[in-house]
Amino acid sequence: MEQADALTHLTKVLFLLCWCLLNLPDYQHPCYKHVCSNFATLGSLLKLAGLSCPSQLSDMLSMVTPPSLVQLKSLPDEAPRGLWGVYLLVFEKPGCLPAIYIGSGTASQGGEGSTVGLGFTPEQLEAIAEERRERERVYQEKYRKEHLEYHKEYRKEHLEYHKEYQKSLRANPTPEFRARNNRNNIKQQPGTKLRQQQAVANKTYYCPVCKVACRDHAGLVRHNNTPKHHKKTLMGDSDYICGPCDISFKYLSAYKTHCRSKGHLERTQY
């Protein structure tokens, strides 16, 4: 009698819950009006389902406070085989907080009884957890690799696009681009001047051939492309040397004047 009263009470709760969910004010599927047109029709459908549950479950649902772990463990572990159902699993491990898992469905063989009645041992639970951790590790490695490859390709495309965009702006500068560059130059001028002075003092950009210290890398590149640097690289410190007279000249005009001199002509004739 007690179990019948519990089932009646629980059935009423399920009826009301289903009816409230099927009659939401925001949205209602059109098919519900044909299948569950009123509360009596819904009740007859649920009665045909043949619901069954432990008698303690009704008392737990009627409690003001959530049930304790001891009360959940007091529920019977027998379950009908070959039927759909809702099951609750309590996981306990030494040194860890207990965990509760609630699921529903029908197992591929034997119904819910084959799922609930297994009686997992701590070793089996540890094996299940280890398997899940291994799957998660494999997934994370695959996801990390794909993410890095995607980020690398995206960064490459972004840099190429930004480079081409800046190149096009420098070739055809807009008034906004010029104004922004002028503002940046004015803002960075004090720091740039100090950095250039330090580079000259420390000989950061230094040409050992010409013994010239440049302000920055661009200045050193410009210096290396000058005719003076090329000439000094090929001919050394003495730009124009007269072999017979063993005299060097810095300028070409002086070298030509020397070649027309009497002393040079006398040395070259004999």
Q: What is the pLDDT of residue 249?
A: 76
Compute the distance between CA of residue 183 and CA of residue 188 in angstroms, rounded to an integer. Answer: 9
Would you say residue 261 lies in a domain?
yes
Given this model, what pLDDT does residue 22 score?
A: 72
Single residue among 130, 153, 172 that ends a domain in this structure: 172
Q: Is residue 247 part of a domain?
A: yes
The answer to the question of residue 35 being in a domain is: no
Is residue 192 pLDDT above 80, yes or no? yes
The single-letter code of the amino acid at 127 is: A
Among 20-29, 98-107, 244-253, 261-270, where is mean pLDDT lowest?
Answer: 20-29
Domain end, chosen from 149, 172, 195, is at 172
Residues with Cβ within 8 Å of residue 3, at least 6 apart in sequence: 55
Q: Is the pTM of this model over 0.75?
A: no
Given 153, 172, 191, the domain boundary residue is 172
User: Within a domain: residue 256?
Assistant: yes
The whole-angstrom separation of Cα 1 and Cα 6 is: 9
Q: What is the pLDDT of residue 121?
A: 66
Longest Cα–Cα distance in the chain: 144
Q: How many domains does the chain have?
A: 2
Q: Is the pLDDT of residue 117 over 50?
A: no
Please check whether residue 107 is in contact with residue 114, taking contact to mean a CB–CB distance below 8 angstroms: yes
Domain range holding 248? 240-269
Percent above pLDDT 70 for the chain: 76
User: Does the pLDDT of residue 15 top 70, yes or no?
Assistant: yes
Q: Sorting pLDDT into bands at 50, 70 and 90, what band is 194?
A: very high
Tell me the pLDDT tens digit for each residue of 18-40: 777 777 666 666 666 666 777 77
In this prediction, residues 171-185 reach a mean pLDDT of: 89
pLDDT at position 214, please?
92
Q: Is residue 143 part of a domain?
A: yes
Of the pLDDT bands very low, low, confident and very high (cuts 50, 70, 90), residue 238 is low
Mean pLDDT of the region 187-209 = 90
Residue tagged 């410009």 (tokens): 222
pLDDT at 110 over 70: no
In a domain, 151, yes or no: yes
Please indicate, yes or no, if residue 168 is contained in any of the structural domains.
yes
Residue-level pLDDT at 205: 92
